[in-house]
Structure 1
Amino acid sequence: MEPPDSTTAFTSLPSELIHQILGYLPLSDLLSTGLVSRSLHEHSQQDSLYHCFVQENVPSRVLEKPPNSSWRELFKSHHPFWFIPRNKIWFSDHPHTGKLLVARYDHRIDAIEAYSIVAERKQPSVLAWDWNPEVIIHTFTPRIQLDLNVPVIRLDANAYQHAVGDQGYRLQKEIPMHLHGESPSSSTGLFSQLMLTRPWPKAITGASTPVWPPLSLPSSTRTRNDSASHFRDVQHRPSKLPEMSTDTFRLRRWMQFSPRLQSMGARMGEDITTWATLPEQYYRPTADKPWQGIWCGDYAGHGCEFLAIMQPDDPLPLPERAEWVMRLRERQGSVSSSDSWSTAPTNATSDDDADGDETMHESANGLETSVATLQAPDHEDSFHDPACVADDERIYRGRIEAVKLTGDPNIPRGEYTFIAPDISNNGLVRIATEELFKGARIVKSVGHIAARGFRDDDYIQSQLILISHDRLAQYWETFGHVSFYQRVNVDDFVKV
């Protein structure tokens, strides 16, 4: 008698054990297993196997089984768009300002949605800084919330049903989202369609390649964000799942009027934005990297902006002009030197503001007075027991860098806003003893400035004040100004 083959042996196991084994398979392997035999196909259709596929894409809450659907039907209905709520945050390449979204799955209406996260500056009050009374400091207690008036993304059964496109491939079609109450058959109004993307090859991606996300932000894949055809060419879109990016997507938006009112073309103001996510490992704080996160910053006249603060293990080289400023600082010694005007050398001048300040490029002589106020005695080393020293060496090490997720006409989204190259004792300025920042570690940093239109961008000396793991401040030495940053807890906005 011949021994049974492996398939027969496997299917002879109890159903509960087979389902437990199949529960460890990724989706592609589970589907492949269902093609082996009729018996395995029936096992692969077990509804409980699809519960984990849905739940892993909705990390913010534990879902209950849909009352009028199965887990398998629910997963299938939104496949392959589950990556949008799974990645939670998305930021766009809209010129200068960008936009930040929080995505989530709303089980109440069975829809994948994303809303803009916005912040409002409350009326500030002026603070006095004993260390330097001439510095301008305003309080910063922003009100951060989702703009729930109109979603930026809404994917539901109705949207999928009306997918449009001339191509036969499902993944290459555009998904119309009826966000403003218009009916699918409406010919007037504001329209928005979502497109999937393909990764752009890393081998041909350089510093000047137009990709999103920018190289200043970590990502496993990037995609092109320019197209002469407005991304209507099929090579910009996947034809099968292995070609699809789960780190980017695009939105096409336009206004449309009745053909009776507009004889030459019904579309107006077509706009295409590319969106990217930031891997959670780069913004989730850890014991060793407590300042990683999504933060909201005070940018004075530009209002509130959102930024990603990261503590990379293997950081990119400092921008050339930032490196120049740090080297100049070391040559000059104390940051309180009266001649420490500290931008990289440039012949450019501008009447525009520097990321919120109206007089950015002043002469070195004109700044000597304000810079001289930085003079202060060197900090004294405080006593630490061995355990505290070990904790300090573990936490206070490496670089802290901040990249804007939203921007302004001076420093746009995707650009560095500040960098503290070394927060260890090598970069230590002092430990604050004054009441306002008492006990805070203050380290050397550089701040990014530019004229309007991101012209003549440069870096200047600054000091990063590590107030707490949820609050930071940046002392812009040249401008005599301190700005604050407050952590944003993304998970608070993902819950429905």
Structure 2
Amino acid sequence: MEDHGTPPLLTLPSELIHHVLSYLPLSDLISIGTVNRALHDHSLQDTLWRPLVQANVHGVNLTHPHNSTWREVFKTHHPYWFIPKNKIWFADNTHTGKLLIARYNPSTNAIEGFALGAERRQPTFTTWDWNPEAIIHTFSPRIQLDLNAPIIRLDANAYARAVGESPNRLQKELPMDLYNEPAHATAGLYSRLMLTRPWPQHIIGKNTPVWPPLRLPSTVRTRNDSASQFRGLDHRPSKIQELSNKTFRIRKWMEFSSRASGISMRVGEDITTWATLPEECYTPTAQKPWQGIWCGDYAGHGCEFLAVIQPDNPEPLPERAEWVMRARERTGSVSSSESWSTAPMEATSDDESSSGMSMSSISQDAELEDSVESENGSTYRGRIEAIKLTGDPNIPRGEYTFIAPDIGPNGLVRVATEDMFKGARIVKSVGHIAARGFREDDFMASQLILISHDRLAQYWETFGHVSFYQRVNLDEFTKVS
């Protein structure tokens, strides 16, 4: 047999071989370890595995794990690293939803997830010089993680206790010890995490029950309805290539047990599907400075979280929002008594409205455009839309809360000169309204006030009310103290 000798790669010094291997993704690093014993030994070099762990951890510069190796840490949580890597997750709970911050805790070697909540502090009333009749309350929310009630805790114990009929570990449910019930308790809460499969894009239609909803930008969605409560194995991946790294599910229930009979009864089972957003759609840039996760003031409903997005190729406006915007064009004024404050219940052709834009209105628009000639044109362009990640009984999670179709010259209302919003660009927008239970939803004429890149306001013209929105600093909550 011909002797080919030592492969050229293995003639290199170990330091160079490790440097070459450091560029390999996980799948290739594992594959090269199966070539021969020498490469297998090189692939086990612990310094190769630290970057694989660190790449999934935000806000913490990891130090060497205690009583373990980086490879063991990575292996323990594989393939669940996508949960802390994606950082923010939002649920499909009916109406309200829930927002979660996921992170890795090196001190406990656990993946954790906590609900992000906001408290609407006692507001004070203030007066708006431009419209003294408007109702304006201050907004300074207290945003914090609920560290007392974790939603996710994945550790070695959870993986060891995985349950399910299938021998495939990807199809098992992970019991999460979240509630620390004493051993003698006759009732307890239970929670399990399940992996999901992505639903094929080509069969997703307007009415397909998927999460996240279609109006949120995502390339991966999964079904969020099941007659079997997602017990069928076809809902879960059987191999890594089938795993959705943008969605997962949590099954939760209460269980009562009888000490006398030893019989347990499960009640109130609830399943939530969780999804994340592509980081690039909520990360601000020089051209899209308002993108991000925001907290909004919804008065009696308290605080809600929303994704503010500046899409490159926005979808057409909802039909009723389009009617409101067209009505403004016909009247030439956002506050004219002849304009529609909400969309008409029946379609009306454009020629049914005889009111046109007055010469004075055209002149005012020209003056406004002249006043902002020096502004950065690449910043004030395109659409800003806000979609609720958490919601209320009127406008639930996953629905638009406001849309400003054009923050450029075509959407400009004015540049504020009054002290409260001095220098802020004010643009035409629409706000989403509905009766309780999301009935008879409609859009109302409003004005979006671009106070700063971290603060927005919306003037609801018919209500005569101004509501505020404040950016959430996600980095503040991904750090583990």
Report the more deviating stretch, 320-329 or 484-493.
320-329
SS in 2 for 1:472: strand
- Is the Cα–Cα contact under 8 Å of residues 162 and 184 in structure 1 kept in the other structure? no
Post-superposition offset of 1:383: 6.5
Post-superposition offset of 1:382: 7.7
SS in 2 for 1:102: strand
Report the more deviating stretch, 412-421 or 324-333.
324-333
- Is the Cα–Cα contact under 8 Å of residues 256 and 264 in structure 2 kept in the other structure? no
2:406 paired with 1:422: yes
Q: Deviations over 1:397-420 (max 9, x none)?
A: 000000000000000000000000
Q: Deviations over 1:409-460 (max 9, x none)?
A: 0000000000000000110000011111111000000110110100111111
Q: How many angstroms apart in 2 are the aligned matches of 1:236 and 1:74?
A: 28
**What residue ranges of structure 2 are gaps of 5+ in the alignment?**
347-360
SS in 2 for 1:381: helix
One-letter code aligned to 2:382: G
Post-superposition offset of 1:339: 1.7
Q: How many angstroms apart in 1 are the aligned matches of 2:368 and 2:115?
A: 45
Q: How many angstroms apart in 1 are the aligned matches of 2:264 and 2:344?
A: 51
Q: State the match for 2:119 in structure 1.
A: 120
2:283 paired with 1:284: yes
Query: What are the residue-to-residue correspondences of 1:332-411 with 2, within 5 Å?
Result: 332-346=331-345, 378=364, 380-381=367-368, 388-389=374-375, 391=376, 393-411=377-395
Q: Deviations over 1:284-324 (max 9, x none)?
A: 11111100000000000000000000101111111111112
Q: State the match for 2:191 in structure 1.
A: 192
Q: Give the structure-2-normalised TM-score.
A: 0.93
Q: How many angstroms apart in 2 are the aligned matches of 1:382 and 1:196?
A: 52
Q: State the match for 2:475 in structure 1.
A: 491
- The alpha-carbon distance between structure 1 residues 429 and 62, as it changes in their structure 2 partners (threshold 3 A), is same
Q: Deviations over 1:215-256 (max 9, x none)?
A: 111112000000000000000000110000000000000000
Post-superposition offset of 1:279: 1.3
Post-superposition offset of 1:117: 0.6
Q: State the match for 2:135 in structure 1.
A: 136
- Is the Cα–Cα contact under 8 Å of residues 178 and 184 in structure 1 kept in the other structure? no
Post-superposition offset of 1:52: 0.6
- Is the Cα–Cα contact under 8 Å of residues 254 and 271 in structure 1 kept in the other structure? yes
2:461 paired with 1:477: yes
Q: State the match for 2:435 in structure 1.
A: 451
2:423 paired with 1:439: yes
Q: State the match for 1:36 in structure 2.
A: 35
Query: What are the residue-to-residue correspondences of 1:61-76 with 2, within 5 Å?
Result: 61-76=60-75
Q: How many angstroms apart in 1 are the aligned matches of 2:194 and 2:45?
A: 32
Q: State the match for 1:322 in structure 2.
A: 321
Q: How many angstroms apart in 1 are the aligned matches of 2:286 and 2:132?
A: 35
- Following TM superposition, the consecutive aligned residue runs of length 4 or more in structure 1 with deviations greater than 2 angstroms are 1-5, 182-188, 259-265, 377-386
One-letter code aligned to 2:368: D
Q: Give the structure-1-normalised TM-score.
A: 0.90
SS in 2 for 1:113: strand
Q: How many angstroms apart in 1 are the aligned matches of 2:93 and 2:290?
A: 27
* Alignment: residue pair count: 464
**What residue ranges of structure 1 are gaps of 5+ in the alignment?**
348-374
Query: What are the residue-to-residue correspondences of 1:205-224 with 2, within 5 Å?
Result: 205-224=204-223
SS in 1 for 2:427: strand
Q: Over the residues paired in the alignment, what is the CA RMSD in angstroms?
A: 2.1
Q: How many angstroms apart in 1 are the aligned matches of 2:372 and 2:312?
A: 27
Q: How many angstroms apart in 1 are the aligned matches of 2:328 and 2:93?
A: 35
Q: How many angstroms apart in 1 are the aligned matches of 2:26 and 2:109?
A: 21
Q: How many angstroms apart in 2 are the aligned matches of 1:91 and 1:240?
A: 25
Post-superposition offset of 1:104: 0.5
Q: Deviations over 1:60-118 (max 9, x none)?
A: 22100102110000000111111111000000000000000001111111111010111
Q: How many angstroms apart in 1 are the aligned matches of 2:263 and 2:23?
A: 57
SS in 2 for 1:394: coil
- The alpha-carbon distance between structure 1 residues 334 and 61, as it changes in their structure 2 partners (threshold 3 A), is same
Q: State the match for 2:357 in structure 1.
A: none
Q: How many angstroms apart in 1 are the aligned matches of 2:247 and 2:372?
A: 48
